[in-house]
């Protein structure tokens, strides 16, 4: 269905008389990649009177579901956020603010919203509207979390990790590696290079072979030696090149592990593995962090109620049944369409006694009355008025029996 964004502009009554510049401005707002809202400050609760298509794509809500509501509905039950207090202060003072908020899409998924609000005043200076510009910074937040996780890993490894600019100037080196190697110093001195850390023969090899190979092939490995107060410390050295979007080297990283530089150099596979141990540990840690960080737990679940969004206490739900990209939530007497997928519900409610009994069913084990088998199919009988039977797949049967204390 085509949405007429022109019709929901609060200034649409001026459409027939607006000049070309204003028409271009309106089209630019409609085409903007960031979500844009306009709220009417002259009406109770400052309702939304315009939302551009990017806002609809960002949140999953249609214009008809958005207009007339206060934008706080995007926060769900997650109201304990510093940014909300900053917004209130800005609205009270009639000023501007830029805040970071946890918001929730129609399907219940979390996204991080960098929101900037600005007041709009009439010719007499009275505040009539607010304009809000929303930027989804979820990926940015995830990448920052990954960087923090990688830094935590790197700062605990006994390997010396050095990151440099293309000219070799040191940008970072880990303190744990310095300590493990018995090296002095902490932060690199201004202008200090990777070569400054190496013994003369290792420095020469790096110049003649290592850098050129790493830049050309992305990777070089070989024996080396660090130099500290005239003392050589044998190491196995891995050098990697990191490229920008144009194929130019933007960073180099060196991973050095204490060892015998006179020994046979390790294979390329084992040398790459040495570096990848760090990277994979960071990736695994970040994946685990994402699995464990499911966002604020739902005290109430968003469900559809005659076109409105109502909230349901999860404790009332006996089981969920998959319904396309959403799920039906069955209570003791009725059912509702939950604005979440079965996978999202499983992830968010696992700690509250819900278990997947079948690929299409998620069950609250606290409301199971009987485990029954009919014609070879096992069912969970629920304490609903109808005594609903929920199928248990053979794949999940042992897990369900164990959870019910029957194993």
* CATH code of the domain containing 399: 2.40.50.1020
Q: Say if residue 152 is in the same domain as residue 287.
A: yes
Name the residue with tokens 């005659």: 306
**Residue 361: what pLDDT?**
92
Q: Give phi and psi for 97, each to the nearest 5.
A: -160, 150
**Residue 296: what pLDDT?**
44
Last residue of a domain, one of 261, 291, 321: 291
Q: Say if residue 230 is in the same domain as residue 187.
A: yes
6 domain residue, yes or no: no
Q: Say if residue 49 is in the same domain as residue 160.
A: no
Alpha helices for 182-267 (secondary structure H): 200-205, 211-217
| Residue 164 C-beta-side C-alpha neighbours within 13 Å | 23
148 domain residue, yes or no: yes
**Residue 18: what pLDDT?**
52
User: 231-243 and 219-228 as β-strands: parallel, antiparallel, unpaired?
Assistant: antiparallel
359 domain residue, yes or no: yes
Domain of 20: which CATH number? 3.30.450.20
As beta bridge partners, residue 254 has 162, 239
Q: Say if residue 19 is in the same domain as residue 85.
A: yes
E strand spans, 149-218:
160-164, 170-173
Q: Give phi and psi for 388, each to the nearest 5.
A: -55, 140
5 domain residue, yes or no: no
Q: Say if residue 370 is in the same domain as residue 257.
A: no
Estimate to the nearest angstrom the gap between the alpha carbon of 92 and the chain centroid: 32
Residues 164 and 178: their CA atoms lie apart, in Å, by 16
**Residue 43: what pLDDT?**
93
User: 160-164 and 48-51 as β-strands: parallel, antiparallel, unpaired?
Assistant: unpaired
**Residue 283: what pLDDT?**
47
247 domain residue, yes or no: yes
CB contact burial 206-239 (16+ within 10 A = b; e otherwise): beeebbebbbeeeebbbbbbbbeeeebbbbbbbb
**Residue 273: what pLDDT?**
55
Residues 15 and 11: their CA atoms lie apart, in Å, by 7
Query: Could you give the number of structural domains in the chain?
Result: 3
pLDDT in tens, the chain (407 residues): 444 544 445 544 444 445 666 677 777 778 888 899 999 999 999 999 999 999 999 899 988 899 999 999 998 888 888 899 999 999 999 999 999 999 998 888 888 999 999 999 999 999 999 999 999 998 888 888 777 777 777 777 888 989 999 888 988 888 888 888 877 655 566 688 899 889 999 999 999 999 988 888 888 988 999 988 888 889 999 998 888 777 788 889 999 988 754 444 444 455 455 555 555 544 454 444 444 444 444 566 777 655 556 778 888 999 999 876 678 899 998 888 887 778 878 877 877 889 999 888 999 999 999 999 988 889 999 999 889 999 998 888 888 998 898 86
**Residue 407: what pLDDT?**
66
Domain carrying residue 366: 301-403
Six-digit token pair at 90?
A: 């800005």
Q: Say if residue 176 is in the same domain as residue 286.
A: yes
Is residue 112 within 8 Å of residue 99, measured between CB atoms?
no
32 domain residue, yes or no: yes
**Residue 367: what pLDDT?**
93
2 domain residue, yes or no: no
E strand spans, 9-153:
35-40, 48-51, 97-104, 110-121, 127-136
Last residue of a domain, one of 266, 291, 316: 291
Residues 54 and 72: their CA atoms lie apart, in Å, by 18
Last residue of a domain, one of 291, 319, 340: 291
For the beta sheet containing 48-51, the strands, ordered from the edge strand earlier in sequence to the opposite edge, are 48-51, 35-40, 127-136, 110-121, 97-104
Alpha helices for 211-267 (secondary structure H): 211-217
Is residue 134 within 8 Å of residue 37, measured between CB atoms?
yes
Q: Say if residue 151 is in the same domain as residue 275.
A: yes
151 domain residue, yes or no: yes
Q: Say if residue 76 is in the same domain as residue 121.
A: yes
Q: Say if residue 172 is in the same domain as residue 286.
A: yes
Q: Say if residue 330 is in the same domain as residue 382.
A: yes
Q: Say if residue 122 is in the same domain as residue 245.
A: no
**Residue 264: what pLDDT?**
47
**Residue 152: what pLDDT?**
77
Q: Give phi and psi for 69, each to the nearest 5.
A: -105, 155
Q: Say if residue 307 is in the same domain as residue 345.
A: yes
Distances from the Cα of 3 to the Cαs of 7, 62, 71, 362, in angstroms?
9, 9, 20, 36
- The pLDDT tens digits for 245-303 are 777 888 899 999 887 544 444 444 554 555 555 555 444 544 444 444 444 445 667 77
């Amino acid at each position: 269905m085509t949405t007429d964004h022109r019709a929901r502009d609060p200034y649409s009554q001026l459409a027939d008389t607006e000049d070309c510049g204003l028409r271009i401005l309106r089209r630019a707002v409609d085409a903007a990649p960031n979500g844009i809202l306009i709220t009417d400050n002259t009406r109770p609760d400052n309702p939304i009177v315009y939302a551009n298509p990017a806002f609809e794509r960002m949140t999953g809500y249609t214009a008809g579901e958005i207009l007339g509501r206060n934008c706080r509905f995007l926060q769900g039950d997650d109201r304990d956020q510093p940014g909300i207090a900053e917004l209130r202060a800005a609205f009270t003072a009639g000023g501007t603010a830029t805040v970071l908020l946890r918001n929730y899409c129609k399907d219940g998924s979390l996204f991080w919203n960098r929101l900037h609000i600005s007041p709009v005043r009439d010719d007499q200076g009275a505040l009539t509207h607010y304009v809000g510009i929303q930027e989804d910074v979820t990926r940015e937040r995830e990448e920052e979390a990954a960087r923090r996780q990688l830094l935590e890993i790197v700062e605990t490894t006994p390997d010396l990790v050095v990151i440099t600019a293309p000219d070799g100037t040191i940008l970072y080196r880990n303190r744990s590696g310095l300590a493990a190697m018995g090296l002095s110093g902490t932060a690199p001195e201004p202008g200090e290079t990777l070569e400054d850390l190496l013994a003369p023969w290792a420095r020469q090899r790096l110049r003649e072979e290592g850098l050129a190979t790493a830049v050309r092939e992305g990777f070089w490995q070989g024996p080396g030696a660090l130099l500290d107060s005239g003392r050589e410390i044998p190491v196995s050295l891995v050098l990697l090149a990191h490229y920008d979007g144009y194929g130019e080297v933007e960073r180099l990283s060196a991973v050095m592990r204490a060892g015998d530089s006179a020994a046979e150099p390790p294979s390329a596979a084992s040398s790459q593995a040495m570096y990848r141990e760090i990277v994979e540990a960071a990736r695994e840690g970040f994946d685990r962090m994402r699995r464990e960080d499911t966002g604020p737990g739902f005290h109430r679940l968003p469900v559809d109620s005659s076109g409105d969004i109502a909230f349901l206490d999860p404790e009332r739900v006996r089981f969920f049944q998959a319904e396309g990209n959403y799920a039906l939530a069955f209570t003791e007497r009725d059912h509702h369409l939950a604005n979440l997928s079965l996978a999202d519900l499983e992830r968010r409610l696992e700690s509250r006694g819900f278990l997947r009994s079948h690929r299409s069913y998620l069950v609250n084990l606290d409301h199971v009355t009987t485990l029954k088998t009919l014609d070879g199919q096992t069912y969970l009988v629920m304490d609903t008025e109808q005594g609903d039977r929920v199928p248990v797949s053979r794949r999940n049967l042992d897990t369900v029996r164990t959870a019910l204390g029957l194993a």
